Amino acid sequence: MLRSVVVRFVFALARTKRRRLLWCAWWTGEPKAAPFRAPDAWGGGAHTREEAQAMAEKAAGRPLSPVDDHWAGAWKRILAGLAPFPKRTVRAAPGAAVADPFLVLGVPRTATREEVQRAFRLKALRHHPDRGGVAEDFIALRRAYDSIRKRRAGGPGSQRVPKSSTSRTSASTQRSGASSMG
């Protein structure tokens, strides 16, 4: 007995950096995560969902049904050279103790300012949401970097000494006193 396989013809959409829509269409099989199944066709530049769907249907040559848009987001990350689905990390509950900022950045406590900055920039490239990273991970990374910078800026001898009002007064007094003498 022959078995018929039902294939859904689907499309998904994702926003681009220029606020246009990237469309992905699958008609030879549905998208799947492991291994990631690339779309049969994809394109971009649409301004509206309807325009993107029309472009996808024209490429497929048949009507398409919408599917969860995370599939188009996964394809967008693959095009950027990243993993289709970023690994989710376990996050601390709000109000919980913050992780050691040196561990977050992966630098020793004796790292120089330049080493800390270099580590932050390298990790920021990997974890920035615009490059396929998770926003919460990038925020934690940024907080760790800011924490180290604030600790280092608050060290002895690194604070600026504010100008006292007496030094300005004495300078103006000296000027006025010099002019009255002359």
**So what's the pLDDT on residue 129?**
86
Superfamily assignment of 101-153 in CATH? Answer: DnaJ domain (1.10.287.110)
Q: Residue ranges of the domains in the chain?
A: 10-79, 101-153
Q: Name the burial class of residue 159, with classes exposed (0-12), middle (13-18) and buried (19+) by CB atoms within 10 angstroms of its CB.
A: exposed
**Both structure tokens of 21:** 């829509």
For residues 55-70, give the mean pLDDT. Answer: 92
For residues 101-120, give the mean pLDDT. Answer: 90
Whether the pLDDT of residue 34 is over 70: the answer is yes
Per-position DSSP letters for 37-54, written without gaps between them: ---SEEEEEESSHHHHHH
Q: What is the CA 138 to chain-centroid distance, rounded? A: 6
Asked if residues 23 and 73 have their Cβ atoms less than 8 Å apart, the reply is: no
**So what's the pLDDT on residue 158?**
45
